[in-house]
Amino acid sequence: MASGNSVTLDAAWVGQYTWPHSGETVRSVTVNPTMNTTYTVTDSYGCITNTFNITISPLPVELVTFTARLEDDQITLDWKTASEFNNDFFDVQRFTNLEEIKSLGQVSGHGTTAETNNYHFVDFSPVKGVAYYRLKQVDYDGGFEYSNVIRADFNGSRSVQLFPNPGNGTELRLVMGLDEGPLSISILDIRGQKVSSFFADSTLPQSPNPPTIKFETPLSQGLYSVQIKSKAGIITRKWIVK
- pTM of the predicted model, to two decimals? 0.51
- Within a 10 A sphere around the Cβ of 238, how many other Cβ atoms? 10
Residue 92 and residue 113 in contact, taking contact as beta carbons nearer than 8 Å: no
Domains of the chain listed by start with CATH number: 7-54 (no CATH), 61-154 (2.60.40.10), 159-241 (2.60.40.3080)
- pLDDT in single tens digits along all 242 residues of the chain: 665 578 999 999 999 999 999 999 999 999 988 778 999 999 988 899 999 999 876 668 999 999 998 876 778 999 999 999 999 999 999 999 888 899 999 999 999 999 999 999 988 778 878 999 999 999 998 989 999 999 998 875 556 778 898 999 999 988 776 655 677 889 999 999 999 988 876 554 444 456 788 898 999 999 999 998 877 678 888 899 99
| CB distance 204 to 182 below 8 Å | no
On whether the CB atoms of residues 130 and 151 are closer than 8 A, the answer is: yes
> Whole-angstrom Cα distance, residue 103 to residue 22?
46
Which sign, positive or negative, has the C-alpha torsion 200, 205, 209, 213? positive
At position 48, the amino acid (one-letter code) is I
Query: Cα 117 to chain center, whole Å?
Result: 13
